Amino acid sequence: MKKQHTNEAVIFFTLIFILFQFTSCKTLSPTKEKISEMTPTASFDNIIPIPVSVSLTGGTFNLNRETKILFASLNPETEFIAKYLQEQINSITGYELAILPFEEKLTKGNISLIINKELNELSKESYSLIISENLIELKANQPEGLFRGVQTLIQMLFPLKNNLNLTSNHIEFPTLEIKDNPRYEWRGVMLDIARHFFSVNDVKKLIDLIALYKFNRLHLHLTDDQGWRIEIKSWPELTEIGGSTQVGGGYGGYYTQEDYSEIVRYAMERYITIVPEIDMPGHTNAALASYPELNCDDIPPELYTGIKVGFSSLCLDKEITYDFIKDVIKEVSDLTPGAYIHIGGDEAYATDSLKYINFIERVQQIIESNNKKMIGWEEISQAKLGSNSVIQFWRKSDYVLKGLQQGSKVIFSPSSKVYMDMKYNPNTELGLNWAGYIEVSDSYNWDPLTQINGISDKQILGVEAPLWTETILNFSDIEFMLFPRLPGIAEIGWSPSFKRNWDEYKRRLANHGNYWKKIGLNYYKSTDINWD
Ligand code: ACM
């Protein structure tokens, strides 16, 4: 009996000891789960726009402070891209990676940016990203493709919550292969600088934000009733008088030609083309107020600071109007390396409709004589268009069909889906609602191909999200109206439609919220999305 008791006691105390060891082990030294919880992990499935193909290969690559960014030394653009990547990684992780030109060997542990002219890519923006256990290789046929691919790599870091400098000595990347190329050539954002003026610095901040989502066009609406915002040396009063105010009154502002060139340069470094818009023959009160001779009665109107549309028109019967347009288009074309000049052409309700058609045809010739191509809002399809001219859809599909019949291509900016100045809902303080309320889901759940019956993908140049600024006063307002809707427009323009799914998209979008919080972006916390 006694012996049995002793045995039971031994078993009992052994069990207690084992249990104690097990629990104390958990608290004193971290378990495997704890370690991996602490190791920051880059994510493969939060990328916006969603890539064409992502295949996981089952391993991990560790990025640490010793990781170098290697670039092809023969190409100065690649060095800029390497620096850009370095800065972005630094701002997200705190790591300061070295950048070096690479010699012939891709060394272990590094990120290599490779231009391979032999890669037979679908577009100059195509890229492939291969992450293996030894190295990260980003390859493209053109630097532009590398730049788009760099955004994918950067976005893999978006879900990381903290600056990692203090907490971790490496970041784990899943090994994978991504192959990616855009669906549409034109993926644009438009900013209205005329209703309210925004500084060069604001435009640069916007360029940086849209570059992250692989946008490649920034359309600047430079002139309207309320303001003329680009210096024209041969017509200086346009900015002296016409640039002097804005919606609501007070001083407006304008870009000198040097300012404008600086925007063009900054955008070009990020493979974004500036598309300048000089709106005519309507939306011209600022020009009419600056030069009496542009008015049929030679009497200049007062400057305008309200938000009505459709009341102004250049005088189409006077030759001086065409001299004016020739001078303006020449100066703007000379400052603009991009192929397109936007001539507005919308809401010309104060212009005789027959004269309007003749006017658009003359302006088209002026644009072409400056070796540029014309874009206009959909109304321009009433005129006879050359096949290089492009129409921008905003409201009426009949106009689009008329343009397509003439061989023009179309950019999709349906106002009820992508006008970023529309309120999210009736409680949104900023914005207007004439095209409806646009929640995040509304701006995501549409496709260019199904907007108008009988149209094919070949006729679609792309998509563009305009932000009109009647109620938008500063950069924080711009952020609030663009985010979180804008990334969805980027995805519509870039990703194949079969890859898009709202329920899956909104999960990815929620993770971008982490990054926006980190950079202090003022985004709308839509209840559509489960933000963390
Ligand atoms: C436009 O919204 N008037 C193009």
Q: What is the mean pLDDT of residues 174-180?
A: 97
Q: What is the pLDDT of residues 304-357, one digit of tens each?
A: 999 999 999 999 999 999 999 999 999 999 999 999 999 999 999 999 999 999
What backbone torsions phi and psi does residue 277 show, to the nearest 5 degrees?
-115, 125
Exposed, middle or buried, 458 (CB in 10 Å: 0-12/13-18/19+)?
A: exposed
What backbone torsions phi and psi does residue 432 show, to the nearest 5 degrees?
-120, 180
The pLDDT value given to residue 21: 42
262 catalytic per annotation: no
Q: What is the pLDDT of residues 261-271, one digit of tens each?
A: 999 999 999 99
Q: What is the pLDDT of residues 84-100, one digit of tens each?
A: 999 999 998 889 999 99
- pLDDT above 70: residue 240: yes
Cα–ligand 1 centroid distance for 73 (angstroms): 46
The strand pair at 127-131 and 136-140 is best described as antiparallel
The pLDDT value given to residue 17: 45
The protein residue with its alpha carbon nearest to ligand 1, atom 1, reads: 346
Give all strands (DSSP E) within 132-245, no chain letters.
136-140, 170-180, 186-192, 217-221, 223-224, 227-228
The protein residue with its alpha carbon nearest to ligand 1, atom 3, reads: 346
- pLDDT above 90: residue 105: no
Q: What is the mean pLDDT of residues 56-66?
A: 95
For ligand 1, whether the C-beta of 346 sits within 6 Å is: yes
- pLDDT above 50: residue 32: no
- pLDDT above 50: residue 20: no
- Taking every pair of Cα atoms in the chain, the longest distance, rounded to a whole number of angstroms, is 123
Matching residue, tokens 């140049």: 461
The pLDDT value given to residue 163: 57
Calculate ∠ Cα 54-187-457, nearest 5°.
80
The pLDDT value given to residue 126: 96
The pLDDT value given to residue 120: 72
- pLDDT above 80: residue 28: no
Confidence at 116, pLDDT banded by 50, 70, 90: confident
Q: What is the pLDDT of residues 302-319, one digit of tens each?
A: 999 999 999 999 999 999
Tokens of 508: 């990815």
Q: Which residue among 79, 144, 347, 439 is the active-site one?
A: 347
Cα–ligand 1 centroid distance for 326 (angstroms): 24
Cα–ligand 1 centroid distance for 393 (angstroms): 9
Q: What is the mean pLDDT of residues 47-71?
A: 96
Buried b (16+ CB within 10 A) or exposed e, 353-367: eeebeebbebbbebb
For ligand 1, whether the C-beta of 192 sits within 6 Å is: no
Confidence at 13, pLDDT banded by 50, 70, 90: low
* Ramachandran category for residue 388: left, alpha or beta (phi over 0 → left; psi -120 to 50 → alpha): alpha
For ligand 1, whether the C-beta of 347 sits within 6 Å is: yes
The pLDDT value given to residue 40: 87
- Locate the ligand 1 atom nearest the alpha carbon of residue 415 and give its number: 2
Contact (CB, 8 A) for 399 and 391: yes
- pLDDT above 50: residue 29: no
Q: What is the mean pLDDT of residues 481-491?
A: 98
Going from the N-terminus, what domains does the chain have, and what CATH number goes with each? 53-180 (3.30.379.10), 186-519 (3.20.20.80)
- pLDDT above 90: residue 417: yes
The protein residue with its alpha carbon nearest to ligand 1, atom 2, reads: 394
For ligand 1, whether the C-beta of 399 sits within 6 Å is: no
